[in-house]
Chains A and B, each alone.
Chain A
């Protein structure tokens, strides 16, 4: 009998609560092993982990590379795979390999297969792809089914076509289809972090509002506690409420800490949009059980009358070179507003092709505009960035910029030996390819299933 069949059987025989272990909110950055062990000793009914996010920026989705190191990713995967197989419960993992596109999913699946071979594990592995073709997005745009989720992205036909990867966030139904194959382990591409934790409860008939509310809190593991941390989080889902407890005895789930977490990374704390509906939290109730365990209830599920998929895309901007330099010269700092454009003009006469130059002045307003009353900084750090279509152009431009900025003359100059202090040589570093988001949109669809195909393999 597979792990999911056993859960269904126990439910039919009257089991009225479900023990859920959220093992990691960012798999691959190091799961605290002692805490995970305590979570496994508690005998959860299933284990979920999240492995990605859009937060680290467009480079990972664009390039297909992972943000986490292969070594740490494999360590964490080994911990959760061994743990889940030892107690023979389903393991669900969402947003494989940071961004969840095909290359990320493939790299993660390769690690899972390697670990299974190394550890002599045998199980049914289901994977769910989440890649969406540019053609499908273009068609949605032409049919008026593509809506922006904020301002700043034009989603022109050119932008869409130039995207190197486009993914859609899968919801609960994709995980249910994967589990229906009898899979013990589900590795998903780009997924809503909640879906990892809602699929099994939904299959077993638990209340959708409560389930979604629980999922939204535990997907970040113990970050909802005081003090917050990365230790796995335990939840007991019942028929009318759920209970929360961290696997780390030092972390307390309190009414205020959990309510505050509901705000985190959300634009509205009372309304959470998911592909299959909306979670309403305005009647959420948080009751302490003791000083570190919390009982939560009140989440209400409002199913959508039309399916939507949140889609994310990234495209190449060009090739990036950066220059690291500092200055302590008061005259140079005071005249930077005229010096930088002057030097840029010189570079443009030397370098044949077009490029983009950006100089960030740390210590002098890079992040926060200085107040007029503030004294001039005694030293500042300059991060100059060139982006050009071709790497050769970027390299030429950054080197010319460096040299002319170093020796640029300005009124009252005393530092004729050079305007800049370089921390090391070469101070120009290769920043690789520059990427930017091309899509962060909502796409209305008639059915979710065609976008998130399931593949099964017996290991």
Chain B
């Protein structure tokens, strides 16, 4: 199954102009746990997907919010020369087809 079919929300947004934060929210405990256990959302898989070193990526699991959060430095400072997404709101797309 793909992440977009298992999750309720996949959103990305700046956490300040230097950091990007991707939140994946689930409707049920079962779906949340499935995603937590999946290889597609492991640190090494995300590093490959996002073409970033593992040390740049932080994964936070929050059972209360039934959410998985992925935090990484922005490739370009928000609104700087060469940026394509000032709010960082379209970086979720890379996550949608992750196999979970």
Contact = CB atoms under 8 A, between A and B. Distances in A.
Interface of A: 54-59, 148-153, 255-256, 259-260, 262-269, 284, 286, 317, 356, 358, 360, 366-368, 387, 434-437, 440
A436 B77 contact: yes
B77 A263 contact: no
B4 interface: no
Q: Which 8 A-B pairs have the closest CB atoms?
A: A150-B18, A57-B79, A259-B65, A260-B65, A267-B15, A436-B80, A152-B77, A259-B64
Main secondary structure of the interface of B (DSSP, over half): loop
Given A54-B16, A149-B16, A264-B13, A437 B79 contact: yes
B84 interface: yes
A54 B84 contact: no
A368 B94 contact: yes
20 contacts: A55-B14, A57-B86, A58-B78, A149-B16, A150-B16, A153-B77, A256-B25, A256-B65, A265-B21, A267-B15, A267-B16, A267-B58, A267-B71, A269-B60, A286-B64, A358-B82, A360-B84, A436-B77, A437-B78, A437-B80
Given A55-B87, A269-B60, A367 B69 contact: no
A317 B78 CA distance: 14
Contacts of B17: 54, 57-58, 437, 440
B5 interface: no
A317 B73 CA distance: 22
B77 A356 contact: no
Nearest to A436: B80
Interface string B72-97: 01101111111011110010011000
Contacts of A317: 81
Contact of A387 (B74, B81, B87): B81
A265 B22 CA distance: 9
Given A263-B21, A269-B62, 14 more contacts: A58-B79, A150-B18, A152-B18, A260-B9, A263-B23, A263-B62, A263-B69, A267-B19, A269-B60, A368-B94, A436-B77, A436-B81, A437-B78, A440-B77
Interface residues of B, number: 36
Contacts of A150: 16, 18-19, 73-74
A266 B81 contact: no
B74 A152 contact: yes
Contacts of B6: none
A152 B80 CA distance: 10
Contacts of A267: 15-16, 19, 21, 58, 71
A437 B77 contact: yes
B84 A260 contact: no
A266 B65 contact: no
Contact of B84 (A262, A269, A367): A367
